[in-house]
Amino acid sequence: MLTGLADTHADLTSGDSVRLGTTAVDLTAALLAHHADRQTLLPTGSRQRALFEQISAHIATHLGDPRLTPRAIAAAHFISTRYLHRIFQQHGTAVSDVIRQQRLARCRRDLADPAQCTVPIAAIAMRWGYPRPSDFTRSFRTATGMTPSEYRAASQDMDRGQR
């Protein structure tokens, strides 16, 4: 990354340089702290950004687990639930919203996938952390304005129209 920045520095605006410089410092500090296994060496802002990235990766990895909750995430990262919520608030979102949005995005992707047209909707929902079909249908309809069945049918119709 640093080599790429050095090669393209002439093409960057001053705003880009400031943002990328801050990111480069944060990434370098996080890498050093990781290798030293001592994140307490990081400045508070960098530590929170690194923790946000770690938690986001944890969420993406564990989306299929219906027990993925803010409490479980906080425990996995040895922080309080309150601090977890504060970290996500500083990024303009809520932990539960991120989990729900990512789960629904994976469900939409699978429902629209022609290769998965024979996979039951309940199986797709369960794969992405929705063990109760009624909860999934309610959440999906709230987010998309249609039921999972309607979404799948509309996606298949669009796919047929492109052929």
Q: Is the pLDDT of residue 128 over 70?
A: yes
pTM for the whole thing?
0.69
Report pLDDT for 14.
66
Report pLDDT for 158.
78
Which amino acid appears at position 38 of this protein?
A: R
| 88, 5, 9, 42 alpha-carbon torsion, rounded to 10° | 50
Report pLDDT for 29.
58
What's the rounded mean pLDDT across residues 116-144? 96
Which amino acid appears at position 143 of this protein?
A: A
Q: Which residue has the higher pLDDT, 8 or 40?
A: 8
Q: Is the pLDDT of residue 157 over 70?
A: yes
**DSSP string spanning 72-107?**
HHHHHTTS-HHHHHHHHHTTTS-HHHHHHHHHHHHH
Rounded to whole angstroms, the Cα distance separating 127 from 141 reads 18
Reported as half-sphere exposure (CB side, CA atoms, 13 A), residue 12 has a value of: 14
Report pLDDT for 19.
62
pLDDT tens sequence across 56-91 = 999 999 999 999 999 999 999 999 999 999 999 999
pLDDT tens sequence across 9-61 = 677 676 666 666 666 666 665 665 555 455 555 555 667 888 899 999 999 99
